[in-house]
A and B are shown apart, each in its own frame.
Chain A
Amino acid sequence: MRALDLKLWRDARRLAGPAVALSAILACGVSAQVALRGTARSLERSRDDFYARTRFADVAAEVVRAPLSVAAQAAALPGLTAVAPRITAWALVEVPGFADPVRLRAASLPEAGEAGLDAVVVREGTLPGRGEVLLGEASARRHRLSPGATVHAVLGGVRERLRVSGLGTAPDAVYVLAPALPFPDDARAGVMWLPRASLEGPLQLQGAFSELLVQVGPGERVQEVARRLEALLERHGGAGARARSEQPSHRFVDEELRQLAVQARFVPAVFLGVAAFLLRDVVARLLGTQRETVALLKALGFGRAVLVRHYLALAGLLLLPGAVAGAAAGAALVRALLGVYALYFRFDRLVPDVAAGDVGLSLAVAAGAGLLGAWASVRQATAIPPAGAMQPPVPPAYGHGLTRLPDRFKGLFPGARMAWRTLLRRPGRTALSVLGLSLAGALLALSGIAWEALGWVLERTFQDAAREDVSVTFAEPAGHAALDVLASWEGVERVEGERAVPVRLWGPGGRWDGAVTARPEGARLRRSPGEDGREQPPPQDGGLVLTDALARKLGVSAGGQLWVERRDGDRRAQAVSVAGLSTEVVGLAALCAPLTARELFGGGAGPVRPGAGAAGGGGVLPARGVGRVPAADGGQHADHAGGAVAVRVRSGRGGRLQRRARGAGRAVAGVGHAAGAGLHAGGVCAAAAGGPGGAGGGLARAGVGAGLALRAAADGAVVQLGACSGCPW
């Protein structure tokens, strides 16, 4: 072997120590890029594959009840390639050993020979027969329910004993958001599938369907198809047709993946930038020590090209282990991360997808920077004639303007002056160092900021915006007497009711299917912060308060105009003004005063007034009212009749709040059941009203998620959300 090649190997071996450090830096930069981008891509591809395999519907439309013949009519609409009618309904399920009710959305499975959409992938066990149920994987695993276990489900008012035949997942149930649950929570919300025959009876949907799944042909406009479907289904109690982009599971998945994709772009770029910076500098300095040897070789007659190649090869050898380790670690990390994500993304399978492009690009950037350092260093050593280069370097010149700057500050002690001169002598390099350090600092901050941000969101949400300890959701309208009963409950300090009306809002920038919430005047448990940070209550003289996110989506600002259309009952579109914006951190919401809701949507509730009477005008109507314990005087409360109603309970302050809140939640459901007259005016949460066992609609907010932290605020206690098993933080 030629002597120069021998030198190459010997030097590489001699520099093994620094090479380890270089490799570590390089491996960090490369593996971060490969891992994060690979994970994001794997998830995206796994999702797309999953959607394709399971024929995820492009549009889903819910109806109250439509005969199956309507599905055939729908199939004849232009632009559709497949329709699949099915029965869906929320059910309450009692899980042995779990105190809170679990809400599972039941869906019928296609009969033999039917083309199913949103097909179920059985992950364990088998498809269900009569008397059996296929449980959604996430909640089943959360409750350790395996095939063979038994659960009781209340469906359409009938309590049934069901044997678990298996666990499965489906594209519309990757995440499940139950009504009134702000986050996915595997412990309390999920899905299940049953044979059509098991659902028809209890839900009285023989020969009918309650949801139509549709696949749209390629090149067709999904929104147009949705409009046609809505028109067809309107007279069957259609609640609007939702494109995928409005489908909760998909939206949640999409949002998560988009966040991941952003992170996967930004975080590794910072890592890589820092790595590249360090590699360039360290390699340049490392080879800088060979300056005299470079000059000697040149003096002996080695050409510059040979020397550049030699030192690039040396740098390459030093960087090689890091490159291999980085790529390998990145690929391994993708697998490991997918293992973690498998708990959150219930696709049927997660296939690692490591792109050669990511490996190549990150290697090119990081190793390229190292090689650049080597090149710069050799170039410097060969730039001057070897006679000069073989001598020790000339002491650096400290003459130019900047380095004289510290002299102006007489107070500087000599050490500081030295340091400043060194920094100012090469301002470019100093600036780069500062940039590198900043990026490194940014990385640290970035890793911490997610938790900080989450903490901030939780604090804003549960300390300022939703300050109740327990929220009770009624599936059907409840009368104001419900508030009285809840308020009379021991430990309940304050009760406030809200009315929610499902609507579609149209603005210049888009539309939104959601709900308008009527909040009583003087509400203290639920508040919306305005843009100036102070509360922004809905104005009594009309108009909506939108969250700024919703305003953006609809393309309006304060003072603007929207169209509102009820999604149930009377669907006339009406103009409504935007009275103001709130800055709530979680999601999209529209608020109004109870009076406004009555004007827009009808109903019997007037403004809060002492001595307000019994339920007004039948049918559909808002809940509202403010109560205080002891709230024996029902006169404090306004009427409730119709609409979706939420009642919130705030229990006493201090210590064992969590248990009490849970207790209160359960107890409220119990009351709902027992108090008959009072709550039955509207019917507490469908199941509680109809079903035995007291598995009512009491939703202890304190129980959302596992591991809750409680915090006592000055005027009471505020429940904070900790890690939630269903949330991907």
Chain B
Amino acid sequence: MGEGVLEARDVTRTYTSGEVQVQALRGVDVAFEQGEFAVLLGPSGSGKSTLLNILGGLDTPTTGTVRYRDHVLSGASEAALTRYRREHVGFVFQVYNLVPSLTALENVALVADISEHAMPPEEALERVGLSGRADHCPSQLSGGEQQRVAPARALVKRPDLLLCDEPTGALGTTVVVITHNQAISQMADRVLTFSDGRVVGEQRNAFPRPPSDIRW
């Protein structure tokens, strides 16, 4: 495995609740290159979300190191992680997590407000086809529409890194996507297969197919 912009080395993550301990990650080594579109595949509970959270600075590994370019994320301070998330990461969460008191446009603007090279929020909404719904509050949007605000919000800041936890929709930069959707994995440069807290397989697509070719 070569040197990448985003790298996890020997990462473990153990959840402790009460006396029960769950080993969600048991030693993960992965690296992602600039511009790569990678997909994580694997059964439910295999640790995909946990890894993605750690890569996105939303969580810290129990052991091991995580590095994004010259930022060492493992063991970084809370403030440093916050800055990392703000400056580099776009995240599409598994549950779409919108601020209920803001409209679709304002939810996107929320992120644009704190980013340096953001695109106009309207443009981000346009890309996900929600221009007509810009002034609607989450409660006035359908489930599918809400789901599409999340990628717009992640993309508006033109992130260096886009992390998507089981999204639907089309994207662009270094993308790490978790999906059960076989069709999406056909678009990826690389598909990593996950099982029981480890990467158990890796497959490179020599010819990633464009979304328009894919049969959903």
Contact = CB atoms under 8 A, between A and B. Distances in A.
Interface of A: 2-4, 6-7, 10-11, 14, 292-293, 296-304, 385-388, 390, 394, 397, 399
Contacts of A390: 58, 93, 95, 97
B107 A3 contact: yes
20 contacts: A2-B109, A3-B107, A3-B109, A3-B110, A3-B113, A7-B106, A7-B110, A296-B97, A297-B110, A300-B91, A301-B82, A301-B85, A301-B111, A302-B82, A303-B83, A385-B53, A386-B59, A387-B59, A390-B97, A399-B18
Interface in B70-116: 78-79, 81-83, 85-87, 89, 91, 93, 95, 97, 99-102, 106-107, 109-111, 113-115
Contacts of A399: 18
A424 B106 CA distance: 44
Most buried by B among A6, A11, A301, A394: A301
Given A3-B107, A386-B58, 19 more contacts: A3-B102, A3-B109, A7-B102, A293-B100, A296-B99, A299-B91, A301-B83, A301-B85, A301-B114, A302-B86, A304-B79, A304-B82, A385-B58, A385-B59, A387-B58, A390-B93, A390-B95, A390-B97, A394-B17
Contacts of B79: 303-304
Contacts of A2: 109, 113
Given A11-B101, A296-B99, A301-B111, A388 B59 contact: yes
Given A7-B101, A385-B59, A390-B97, A300 B110 contact: yes
10 A-B pairs with least C-beta separation? A301-B86, A387-B59, A387-B58, A10-B101, A387-B53, A3-B110, A3-B109, A301-B85, A3-B106, A385-B59
A304 B93 contact: no
Nearest to B90: A300
Contacts of B113: 2-4
B60 interface: yes
Nearest to A302: B114
A575 to B, nearest CB: 80
Interface residues of B, number: 33
Contacts of A387: 53, 58-59
A304 B87 CA distance: 16
A11 B99 CA distance: 10
Contacts of A301: 82-83, 85-87, 89, 111, 114-115
Nearest to A5: B113
Contacts of B106: 3, 6-7
Contact of A298 (B18, B60, B82): B82
B64 to A, nearest CB: 16
A378 to B, nearest CB: 14
A399 B17 CA distance: 12
Given A7-B101, A7-B102, A303-B82, A385 B111 contact: no
A299 B114 CA distance: 12
B54 to A, nearest CB: 8
A201 to B, nearest CB: 87
Nearest to A383: B78
A14 B101 contact: yes
